Structure 1
Amino acid sequence: MTDWTTTPVELRLLRGALDVERTEHGVLPHRLPAWAREQCPDPQLALVSAQPSGVRLALRTRATAVELDVLPTKTVYAGAPPQPDGVYELLVDGRPYDRASVSAGNVHTVDIAAGTTVVTPGPPGTLRFTGLPAEDKTVEIWLPHDEITELIALRTDAPVEEVPEDGRRVWLHHGSSISHGSSAGSPTAIWPALAAALGGVELINLGLGGNALLDPFTARTLRDTPADLISVKIGINLVNIDLMRLRAFAPAVHGFLDTIREGHPTTPLLVVSPVLCPLQEDTPGPLSADLEDGELRLRALGDPADRTRLTLTLVRDELARITERRAADDPHLHYLDGRSLYGEADHSELPLPDGLHPDTAGHRRIGERFAELVFGEGGPFAAKSG
């Protein structure tokens, strides 16, 4: 019979979370602080900011067995095939060791046609990882990037401690659903996690599906979060929900960057424009999403002749112009064209399955390219020698 040690799950044991909420079951990690969530009661933002993309439990322990009681909330779409259960990945000293899923949990049903959502309560489940090396080690459990996860209880067969700082730089990234990890197969397969691993940095992922919208509360969150490196991937959400016209875009970008600079005046700051998305390169939004025979169909409804409305082409031109102008007075500001991460040749080889999001192979391509261009020699986030 296993002699278990139960350890309370607290923010000090979590990496990548900015806040934890106490619930009737346990704790719920959040990637936006409570004050920011209160400023925008949008249900979609509440959903994606509570999905723990890039969030992981980090423990120092000699334990050979770990149990974690969780209550997931799974999102399903009426009329569409069920999504796979979220994946929990266990790493030992940074290397993949095991993975598991929980089939139990709440179910959040979205009816796209009716514009309604219903949450059906369900029971918690238990993850079990056994056979870990009986030596001092760092154990990380990466939570599903696409499944809200309440953490109820953590049990191990040896005591656990907080992982000490190891000197790695902290990379704070903000972006849209692609940065969030949409359509990736597991939490460490999302492109920011891959890039962070290759770049040898500690990731805080503020990729918020559908919500990279230049919101002031997001800028203030980035301003107030300690980080050694910051990147913001801007544009595609503004286009696909047709949020603003060209007149408003440049001032909003300037304001967003100004706010970040209030807290990080000399931190390397990288502005990344959208990756290639033929659906909206030259056609404004909004996007229409429909389910046909269980398949998601996306269409851009805007008029390509209306030059006041944003397209990806216009967004890239404006971001390049803005960053070039600001960089004259800000030598730590950099720009990266998103098509250098995923462009026309990549689209021919690895097309976007739903027309908008890359699959796991696409995420790998983007993550490897980012690591090479940004963390590699000569890149804006390259480690300084000496």
Structure 2
Amino acid sequence: MPSTSHTAPITADLVRGALDLEPTANGILPHRLPARARARNTDGQLAMAESQPSGVRLVFRTRATAVELDTLPTKRVYIGAPPRPDGQYDLLVDGRPAGRATATGGNTLTIDMSTGAVEHTTGPAGTLRFTGLPERDKTVEIWLPHNETTELVALRTDAPVEPAPASGRRTWLHHGSSISHGSDAASPTTTWPALAAARGGVELVNLGFGGSALLDPFVARTMRDTPADLISVKLGINLVNADLMRLRAFTPAVHGFLDTVREGHPTAPLLVVSPILCPIHEDTPGPTAYDFSRLGEGRLLFTAAGDPGERAEGKLTLGVIRDELKRIVTQRAADDPNVHYLDGRDLYGEADHAELPLPDRLHPDAAAHRRIGERFAAHAFAAEDGPFAQAEE
């Protein structure tokens, strides 16, 4: 077994997809929101989601045949719910899948869903190891678990490491909900945004935050200030889940969010995506509630706790949101030719639900993530008139 005697400092030039690296007692913690945005946040769900490194990866050049990475994951245990699988690390060599691993040890958050109480237990760092890599100059990528907060402790190899040069590819900045975050995807490179980015040949910055695509102004400012060539926002489901606002507040909030993004990216292609099909909330408002009726079978489900009659009072459903987002984008397109709309049901609709139903009634499974990613790429990148199509030189 080769000796991993070279220790490479984990510095910003080895990390892609993160907007901030926080020094910790153990190493560094990648964040997907910068410190100035985190300082404006008071919600624990968003704090947890943005620290989970969906789309974040280590990227470097090396001749190494063995790579070790020490990490300190924070795993979640929900009392009464089925156990969560350990976070996956995906290895790519020159852009091709070359391995997958998990990290043992780590901290644990034990969460009581009925009360919201959280208990934090500390644990040791773990080591994952990839061996048998080709002995030649190559680009190595280690994609971090999309759904598990991960501190990076140490990187060791059996040959020197240097930062990979910039790819020269366009940067795609995306914001969305837990579906964009990657909930129920198989691994970090198989979330739908990662799959779409690979097919589109772009560098991904994923600001998909589980439960937290809520039109927060500090997220809009983050997008405004983040360099990007292509931008998309997938809005709606979390606003219904949280029963956060009525239609009167939703419309100006969307305009304000998009106005802020446009301050930093006045002409970049901007794609507004409405929710994929979710039958429980198509015509029934939120809030979304837990349905514990199938826990005995190892299944945690979700249900809509609102009343369809409340739509008359301005409560939001997915149908209402799609109609309004389409109207907003049509209105803005009159003086902004680079803003576009995509109905989320074109990514996952009724026929898809019949074939690949949402396992918990809210989140797509791994097969549906692949389908959504392929369809998004075909619409946005591949079509000649797609919003993200590469202009010919």
Aligned counterpart, 1:193: 194
In structure 2, relative to structure 1, the CA distance for the partners of 1:115 and 1:290 (3 Å cut) is farther
Aligned counterpart, 1:299: 303
Q: CA deviation at 1:185?
A: 1.1
Q: Output the CA distance in 2 between the equivalents of 1:345 and 1:295.
A: 23
Identical pairs, percent: 69
Q: Output the CA distance in 2 between the equivalents of 1:193 and 1:163.
A: 19
Give 1:384's aligned amino acid.
Answer: A
In structure 2, relative to structure 1, the CA distance for the partners of 1:288 and 1:36 (3 Å cut) is same
Aligned counterpart, 1:369: 375
SS of 1:295 mapped into structure 2: coil
Q: Output the CA distance in 1 between the equivalents of 2:344 and 2:179.
A: 12
Aligned counterpart, 1:19: 20
Q: CA deviation at 1:3?
A: 5.5
SS of 1:113 mapped into structure 2: coil
Moved over 4 A (4+): none
Task: Select 1:332's aligned residue among 335, 338, 341.
Answer: 338
Q: Output the CA distance in 2 between the equivalents of 1:182 and 1:328.
A: 36
Of the structure 1 ranges 290-299 and 43-52, higher mean CA displacement relative to structure 2 is found in 290-299
Q: Output the CA distance in 2 between the equivalents of 1:210 and 1:166.
A: 32
Give 2:272's aligned amino acid.
Answer: V
CA contact (8 A) 1:169 1:202 kept: yes
- Structure 1: which 5+ residue stretches go unaligned? none
Q: Output the CA distance in 1 between the equivalents of 2:44 and 2:86.
A: 22
Aligned counterpart, 2:111: 110
Give 1:109's aligned amino acid.
Answer: T
Computed over aligned residues only, the root mean square deviation of the Cα atoms, in angstroms, reads 0.9
Q: CA deviation at 1:68?
A: 0.5
CA deviations on 1:23-48 (whole Å, 9 max, x unpaired) are: 11000000000111111121111111
SS of 1:363 mapped into structure 2: helix
Aligned counterpart, 1:38: 39
The answer as to 2:336 corresponding to 1:344 is no
Aligned counterpart, 2:391: 384
CA contact (8 A) 1:113 1:290 kept: no
Q: Output the CA distance in 2 between the equivalents of 1:117 and 1:34.
A: 23
For this pair of structures, how many residues does the alignment match? Answer: 386
- Structure 2: which 5+ residue stretches go unaligned? none
Q: Output the CA distance in 2 between the equivalents of 1:259 and 1:83.
A: 37
CA deviations on 1:206-248 (whole Å, 9 max, x unpaired) are: 0000000000000000000000000000000001110000100
The answer as to 2:316 corresponding to 1:310 is yes
Q: CA deviation at 1:253?
A: 0.3
CA deviations on 1:300-356 (whole Å, 9 max, x unpaired) are: 111111221000000000000000000010011000000000000000011000000
SS of 1:145 mapped into structure 2: coil
Q: Output the CA distance in 1 between the equivalents of 2:343 and 2:61.
A: 39
Give 1:380's aligned amino acid.
Answer: P
In structure 2, relative to structure 1, the CA distance for the partners of 1:268 and 1:123 (3 Å cut) is same
Aligned counterpart, 1:262: 263
Aligned counterpart, 1:138: 139
Task: Select 1:358's aligned residue among 364, 378, 381.
Answer: 364
Q: Output the CA distance in 1 between the equivalents of 2:83 and 2:364.
A: 19
Pairing 1:1-386 to 2, within 5 Å after superposition: 2=3, 4-291=5-292, 292-293=295-296, 294-307=298-311, 308-377=314-383, 378-386=385-393
SS of 2:118 mapped into structure 1: strand
CA deviations on 1:130-151 (whole Å, 9 max, x unpaired) are: 1111111100000000111000
Q: Output the CA distance in 2 between the equivalents of 1:111 and 1:297.
A: 16
Of the structure 1 ranges 142-151 and 296-305, higher mean CA displacement relative to structure 2 is found in 296-305
Q: Output the CA distance in 2 between the equivalents of 1:42 and 1:306.
A: 27
Give 1:383's aligned amino acid.
Answer: Q
Q: CA deviation at 1:15?
A: 0.7
SS of 1:253 mapped into structure 2: helix
